[in-house]
């Protein structure tokens, strides 16, 4: 007797390829919209880029030459096409303030912000997730109240105030950490002229060069600003983890697992965390993106030569091409992190792939 043949198995590759294509198309449209917004802002702000370059005493011929060079006399749609074409090739224009390529300047400043935000996110995640789980598993307890108060303080206190207090206490009074900047002047010169730069991130480059004295000095400088950003990140992550975990612990499958005698740690960290991890990935990615774009005040207080300081200095100098170039980089980083979190979301949760 011949059995009924099994139905053909669905091949997930075409579906995954289609989802990836849709994601890339969405990413491209989002970046195009970002470029459109920055282009419009650059054209409507009451700052004449020609006057910023040549000065008010320039002749009309000199000003017209700069307009021709910048393409400001071309139709608006053509200017936007050139702007998008150059941006796709990595050319974000020329800084009015320094006369250098904005892409090259951002490439020098962005690693400092990336290093700072990455350490802050790692700290916020490693502390925030366990704290949120602890608060969710003991609602109303002393531990829950402490986690919620610490999180509320992280939301309420301005980051610049925390930075000033941190410098006053840990640097000025206790002398536990180094002061503003990424390195002491001696080590800064050593990093610039003696050691090889691989990534622009001092912790990684000094370790790859085996310069552990530079590494220790860099840690002493970065620990306070990274800790403050990590505290802000931890406040957000712990609050969301607590909310997600409390929702999962009230589900029927958790009650069933407990009735079967499963250890509590396994119920929480295996079964409940598996479902909490899905939205938590998005929360962590958004927190990381926020630190990348929102560390302007922290970088200003700690004299941290990152992208936030670069955009701030350019804004005070009315260097709008540099401001918009930095804005584009931050926007692309934000959109990319959202797409990466969506990919990880689909890998973690098989239901998202159907």
DSSP 3-state of 56: coil
pLDDT of 25:
81
Copy the structure tokens of residue 276.
């909490």
pLDDT tens across 61-87, in order?
Answer: 777 777 777 677 778 888 888 888 888
Record the pTM: 0.82
DSSP 3-state of 305: coil
pLDDT tens across 12-60, in order?
Answer: 556 667 777 777 788 788 888 888 888 888 777 766 677 666 666 777 7
Evaluate if residue 8 carries a pLDDT over 70: no
Q: Are 236 and 283 in contact (CB under 8 A)?
A: yes
In the predicted model, what is the mean pLDDT of residues 134-158? 88
DSSP 3-state of 57: coil
Copy the structure tokens of residue 113.
């912000």
Partners of residue 101 on adjacent β-strands: 94
CA dist 232 and 238 (Å) reads 10
Q: Are 99 and 208 in contact (CB under 8 A)?
A: no
Q: Are 327 and 311 in contact (CB under 8 A)?
A: yes
Q: Are 272 and 278 in contact (CB under 8 A)?
A: no
CA dist 147 and 138 (Å) reads 11
The CATH code belonging to domain 108-353 is 1.10.3720.10
Q: What is the C-alpha end-to-end distance of the chain, expressed in Å? A: 36
How far, rounded to the nearest angstrom, does the alpha carbon of residue 90 sit from its chain's CA centroid?
20
294: nearest Cα among 242, 224, 233 = 233
Buried residues in 312-348 as b, exposed as e (16+ CB within 10 A): bbbeeebbbbbbbbbbbbbbbbbbebbbebbebbbee
Residues 6+ apart with CB under 8 A from 315: 323
15: nearest Cα among 248, 349, 348, 346 = 346
Alpha helices (H) in the chain, listed in sequence order: 12-44, 49-54, 60-70, 76-88, 102-137, 142-156, 159-166, 185-193, 202-208, 212-249, 252-259, 264-266, 273-294, 296-301, 307-316, 320-348
Long-range contacts of 114-117, Cβ-Cβ distance < 8 Å, separation of 24 or more: 114/201, 114/292, 115/201, 115/202, 115/203, 115/204, 115/222, 116/222, 116/225, 116/226, 116/229, 116/291, 116/295, 116/298, 116/299, 116/304, 116/306, 117/229, 117/288, 117/291, 117/292, 117/295
pLDDT of 353:
55
Q: Are 240 and 283 in contact (CB under 8 A)?
A: yes
In the predicted model, what is the mean pLDDT of residues 232-258? 89
Q: For residue 94, what is the DSSP state?
A: B
Evaluate if residue 290 carries a pLDDT over 50: yes
What are the domain boundaries of the chain?
15-88, 108-353
Mean pLDDT taken over the chain:
83
Q: Which band of pLDDT confidence, cut at 50, 70 and 90, is reported for residue 1?
A: very low
Cα dist from 67 to 24, 49, 51, 53, whole Å: 36, 9, 10, 10
224: nearest Cα among 310, 131, 145, 304 = 304
Copy the structure tokens of residue 10.
């669905």
Q: Which band of pLDDT confidence, cut at 50, 70 and 90, is reported for residue 254?
A: confident
């Amino acid at each position: 007797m011949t059995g009924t043949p099994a139905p053909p198995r669905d091949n997930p590759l075409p579906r995954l390829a289609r989802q990836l294509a849709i994601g890339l198309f969405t990413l491209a449209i989002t970046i195009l919209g970002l470029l459109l917004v920055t282009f419009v802002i650059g054209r409507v702000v009451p700052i004449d880029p020609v006057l910023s370059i040549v000065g008010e005493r320039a002749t009309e011929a000199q000003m017209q030459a700069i307009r021709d060079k910048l393409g400001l006399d071309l139709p608006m749609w053509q200017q936007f096409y050139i702007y998008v074409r150059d941006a796709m090739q990595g050319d974000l224009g020329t800084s009015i303030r320094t006369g250098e390529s904005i892409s090259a300047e951002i490439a020098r400043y962005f690693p400092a912000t990336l290093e700072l935000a990455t350490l802050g996110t790692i700290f916020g995640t490693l502390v925030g997730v366990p704290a949120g789980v602890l608060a969710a598993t003991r609602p109303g307890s002393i531990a829950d109240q402490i986690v919620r108060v610490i999180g509320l303080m992280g939301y309420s206190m301005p980051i610049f105030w925390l930075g000033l207090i941190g410098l006053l206490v840990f640097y000025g009074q206790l002398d536990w950490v180094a002061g503003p900047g990424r390195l002491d002047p001696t080590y800064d010169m050593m990093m610039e002229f003696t050691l090889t730069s691989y990534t622009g991130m001092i912790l990684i480059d000094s370790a790859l060069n085996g310069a552990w004295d530079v590494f220790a000095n860099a840690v002493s400088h970065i620990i306070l600003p990274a800790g403050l950003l990590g505290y802000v990140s931890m406040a957000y992550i712990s609050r969301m983890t607590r909310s997600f975990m409390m929702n999962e612990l009230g589900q029927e499958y958790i009650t069933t697992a407990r009735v079967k005698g499963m250890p509590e740690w396994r119920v929480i960290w295996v079964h409940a965390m598996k479902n909490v991890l899905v939205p938590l990935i998005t929360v962590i990615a958004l927190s990381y993106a926020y630190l990348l774009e929102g560390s302007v005040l922290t970088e200003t207080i700690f004299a941290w030569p990152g992208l936030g300081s670069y955009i701030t200095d350019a804004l005070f100098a009315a260097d709008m091409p540099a401001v918009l170039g930095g804005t584009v980089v931050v926007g692309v980083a934000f959109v990319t992190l959202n797409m990466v979190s969506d990919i990880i979301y689909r890998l973690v949760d098989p239901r998202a792939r159907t």
